[in-house]
């Protein structure tokens, strides 16, 4: 029975993180939104006292309170043109916090770990399963049809996006060009952290493999990883030089070269796409190039739009990711901060961001991990919207959830 429960926990963890919509294959299944709501309800029934105990003992309750306040605010803002769909991201946030907190509780019930590293290693293991799925899809193109079907959904991949299929869209998940690669980047950062904590060179190799599985679907994770890797080298250089740093340096160089050669020889389209992204950033910082024909140029140009008048205080009650007509102008933005401003204005940002940061800062005390995840949030939320109950913000919050629960678990079992 114990093995069966562990298999169920693995499937549960994989699902709540990657959120694949299998209803496209099995019409009798409910869609992802209904499933996560069902899982949260089931967790509340099975773990009700345990969940309440955890919420009371730490500051997760503050996040719930803020989210409920913001739902009320958005409801009032939307009264003239009410759309329940505009409230769903915050509703999803609440539901998924319950699911992620339950993940921690179930893990401790089944594995009885001695410290927080056990669950971090488990998360890296989940990421590596996705890595191997992505690798098999690359080696066996017929398997990629699974990813293409999940990406396109019941309506199929739109013609305007079919060009992506030649060098992206691998794995099992959702939001293949943004969320899935960032999830893999998050796991690569956790693996790098485990290596920095002396858990073995295996986790450095794992970190590189995970970032490769991110790059095949999106470039943003690569930029985040490079910055965090530089921070790691700076951290190590301030300490006494030793063999570990030497091995790490040569390992980084060798694996990076092999990865580049692999991409160049077997996936020239992807290599061109990656180098174009690097070139855009170099031109931006060293030549001031801000052409609106590049992704970077658009993110610092046409996507930087702001609400006007009182709208900047209260927002419009909805985001502008899909584009809206605002004051006789069509506007659109991928930037998370801009979408949050349009959704709930300054009130939304000044309530939600500090609450999340406070909870994170209280429990996440390791400087390298804290710095890495804050940078991860800052960059990821610029490239796209992550605060609306996405796996990215929830994985970031999972770390303080885990640390706080571990402290409570140890104290309770003394």
Q: Maximum CA pair distance of the chain?
A: 65
The pLDDT value recorded for residue 234 is 76
Walk along the chain (414 residues) and give the pLDDT tens digit of each residue: 678 999 999 999 999 999 999 988 888 888 898 999 999 999 999 998 889 888 888 778 889 999 999 988 888 887 777 677 778 889 999 999 999 999 999 999 999 888 899 999 999 999 999 999 999 998 898 999 999 999 988 788 888 888 888 788 999 998 899 999 999 999 999 999 999 888 988 998 899 899 989 988 988 888 899 888 888 877 776 666 566 666 666 666 566 666 666 665 666 777 777 777 777 666 666 655 555 555 666 666 677 888 988 889 988 888 888 888 788 788 888 888 999 999 999 999 999 999 999 888 888 888 889 999 999 999 999 888 999 889 999 999 999 999 989 888 877 775
Q: What is the CA radius of gyration of the chain?
A: 22
Q: Is residue 220 helix, strand or coil?
A: helix
As a 3-state breakdown, the chain gives helix, strand, coil percent values, each rounded to 5, of 75, 0, 25
Residue partners of 263: CB distance under 8 A and separation at least 6:
270, 271, 274
Q: Enter the pTM of the model.
A: 0.92
SS3 121: helix
Token pair 């309800």 is found at: 41
pLDDT for 226 equals 85
- pLDDT for residue 280: 67
């Amino acid at each position: 029975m114990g093995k069966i429960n562990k298999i169920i926990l693995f499937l549960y963890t994989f699902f709540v993180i990657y959120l694949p919509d299998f209803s496209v294959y099995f019409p009798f299944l409910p869609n992802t939104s209904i499933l996560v709501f069902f899982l949260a309800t089931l967790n509340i029934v099975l773990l009700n006292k345990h969940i309440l105990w955890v919420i009371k003992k730490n500051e997760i309750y503050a996040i719930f309170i803020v989210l409920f306040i913001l739902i009320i605010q958005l409801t009032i803002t939307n009264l003239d043109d009410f759309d329940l769909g505009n409230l769903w991201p915050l509703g999803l946030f609440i539901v998924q916090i319950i699911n992620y907190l339950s993940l921690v509780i179930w893990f401790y019930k089944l594995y009885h770990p001695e410290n927080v590293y056990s669950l971090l290693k488990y998360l890296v293991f989940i990421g590596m399963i996705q890595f191997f799925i992505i690798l098999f899809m690359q080696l066996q193109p017929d398997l990629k049809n699974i990813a293409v079907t999940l990406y396109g959904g019941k309506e199929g991949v739109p013609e305007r996006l079919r060009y992506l299929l030649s060098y992206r869209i691998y794995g099992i998940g959702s939001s293949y060009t943004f969320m899935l690669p960032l999830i893999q980047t998050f796991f690569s950062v956790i693996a790098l952290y485990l290596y920095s904590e002396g858990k073995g060179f295996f986790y450095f190799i794992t970190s590189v493999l995970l970032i490769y599985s991110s790059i095949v679907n999106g470039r943003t994770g690569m930029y985040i990883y490079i910055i965090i890797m530089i921070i790691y080298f700076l951290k190590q250089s301030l300490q006494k030089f030793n063999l570990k740093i030497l091995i790490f340096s040569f390992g980084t160089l060798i694996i990076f070269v092999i990865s580049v050669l692999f991409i160049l020889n077997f996936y020239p389209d992807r290599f061109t796409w990656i180098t174009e992204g690097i070139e855009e950033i170099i031109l931006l910082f060293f030549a001031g190039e801000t052409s609106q024909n590049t992704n970077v140029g658009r993110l610092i140009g046409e996507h930087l739009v702001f609400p006007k008048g009182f709208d900047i205080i209260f927002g419009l009650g909805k985001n502008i990711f899909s584009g809206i007509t605002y004051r006789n102008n069509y506007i659109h933005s991928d930037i998370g901060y801009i979408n949050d401003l349009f959704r709930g204005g300054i009130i939304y940002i000044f309530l939600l961001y500090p609450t999340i940061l406070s909870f994170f800062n209280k429990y996440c005390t390791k400087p390298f991990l804290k710095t890495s995840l804050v940078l991860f949030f800052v960059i990821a939320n610029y490239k796209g919207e992550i605060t609306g109950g996405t796996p990215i913000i929830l994985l970031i919050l999972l770390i303080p959830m885990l640390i706080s629960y571990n402290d409570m678990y140890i104290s309770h079992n003394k």
